[in-house]
Amino acid sequence: MKPDDQKHHAQPASLSPPVRPEIMRWIQRLRLIDDYFMQVCFQDCIECVELVLRIILDKPDLVVQRVSAQKSLANLYGQGSRLDIFAVDSENRPYDIEIQRASRGAQPRRARFYSSLLDANQKETGKDYELLPESYVIFITERDVLRLGQPLYKIERQIVGTDKLFCDGAHIIYVNGEMREGDTALARLMHDFFCANPAEMHYEPLAHVTGFHKTDSKEVVKMSSTFEAFAEEIEKQTSAKYLAQGMEQGMAQGMEHAGRTFALKLLADGFSCEDIARYTALPLDTVLELAAQHRAESN
C-alpha cells in the first residue's frame, strides 16, 4: 500500500452522536474474517465480491451482476435460511460465500444444505434440468477445518471406482484462512481478510471499503449502535438486580442475562461465536448453545 493510503485508517472527524472509546476500539479491530463486518462491507459491493471470487476460483474474467448480504433463501417448507453473501454472475451462476471462524459452522453437511438451497431457488417449474446453472458454496474459514494442509479445497462428486467426476454442476470450496503467508494471490487475499488496518492490505478495493466503514461518521455510528445496545442492556439489567439482590450478585446475574439477550441479537446480525464470547464475556460453550438454539428457531 502507498503512504497516502494511511487515510483509510484515520479516525472519523466528527461523530454525532458520539461513540464510546471502547466501542470505537472494537470497530477499529474488526476484520473481514469477522462475518458481521464482512457483510457490512460487501453489501452491494460488486467490486469486492468480484475480486474475491476471481481469486478463489482463478477466473480473472468472472463478472458479478448482483450482490446481497444476509440473503434469505426459502427451503421446501417455506422457511428461510440466511446466506452471508449471495452473488450472481453474468451467466446466472449463484454463489454463496460463508465466513466461518468456528469449525462447527463449516461442517460438510451444512455445505451440502446450502448447495441444495441454491438449486431449489434456481429451478423453475417445467424447465429442463439441464438449464440448472452451476452453483458455488464457498466457506472461508479461520482454521484448516479439513486438516489436510491445503490453502484451498475443491469438493466435487466423483463416480466411485473410477477417476471420473459426476459433473452435476454443484461446487463446494473451502478456503483455509491459516494459509496467508506467501506471494500468491490467494495468500494475499487471506492476509487482507485477517487485517484490521486498511493501510496494510494488498488489494485496494478491500482496503477502501474497510477504511470507509471504519472512518465514515455515519457508518461508524450505525455499527456502534449494535454495541451500544449491549451496554444499555447491561446497565438496565444490573440496576434492577442491584436493588433486589445487592451489588455483587445483582451485577453478575444482570451481566449474564444481558449477555445472553445480546448474544442472540449478535447471532441474528451474523457475528461469529468467538466474537460474541469476547464482546459479551459469556463462555464460548454458552454462545455455541445459543447459536444452536438460534439456528433451530430460524429454520
| pLDDT, tens digit (0-9, with 9 covering 90-100), for 183-227 | 999 999 999 999 999 999 999 999 999 999 999 988 898 888 766
- Indicate whether 206 and 237 sit together in one domain: no
- Domain for residue 209, yes or no? yes
SS3 state of residue 67: strand
- Indicate whether 71 and 190 sit together in one domain: yes
Rounded Cα–Cα distance for residues 139 and 44 (Å): 19
pLDDT at 287 over 90: no
- Indicate whether 109 and 145 sit together in one domain: yes
Rounded Cα–Cα distance for residues 27 and 188 (Å): 23
- Indicate whether 74 and 159 sit together in one domain: yes
- Indicate whether 127 and 271 sit together in one domain: no
pLDDT at 83 over 60: yes
CA nearest to 146, candidates 98, 110, 103: 103
Domain boundary among 163, 183, 215: 215
- Domain for residue 9, yes or no? no
Rounded Cα–Cα distance for residues 20 and 290 (Å): 27
- Domain for residue 211, yes or no? yes
- Indicate whether 233 and 186 sit together in one domain: no
Of 274 and 117, more confident: 117
- Domain for residue 81, yes or no? yes
> Cα angle vertex 153, ends 289, 170, to 5°?
85
Domain boundary among 175, 195, 215: 215
267 phi and psi angles, rounded to 5 deg: -60, -40
- Domain for residue 6, yes or no? no
- pLDDT bucket at 238, cuts 50 / 70 / 90: low
- Looking at the DSSP bridge assignments, the partners of residue 74 are 80
Split into its structural domains, the chain has a count of 2
- Domain for residue 83, yes or no? yes
- pLDDT bucket at 41, cuts 50 / 70 / 90: very high
138-148 mean pLDDT: 95
* Percent of the chain scoring above 90 in pLDDT: 48
- Domain for residue 10, yes or no? no
pLDDT at 172 over 80: yes
Residues of the domain holding 121? 16-215
Domain boundary among 155, 180, 215: 215
First vs last C-alpha separation in the chain: 43
- Indicate whether 200 and 239 sit together in one domain: no
Rounded Cα–Cα distance for residues 259 and 195 (Å): 27
Q: Write the burial class of residue 206 (CB in 10 Å: 0-12 exposed, 13-18 middle, 19+ buried).
A: buried
Residue 150 has what pLDDT? 97
Chain mean pLDDT for the chain: 83
- Indicate whether 209 and 252 sit together in one domain: no
Residue 29 has what pLDDT? 87
- Indicate whether 138 and 276 sit together in one domain: no
- Domain for residue 220, yes or no? no
- Indicate whether 118 and 58 sit together in one domain: yes
- Indicate whether 101 and 130 sit together in one domain: yes
Of 46 and 254, more confident: 46
pLDDT at 229 over 70: no
Residue 1 has what pLDDT? 45
- Indicate whether 21 and 154 sit together in one domain: yes
pLDDT at 72 over 50: yes
H or E element that contains 98: strand 94-100
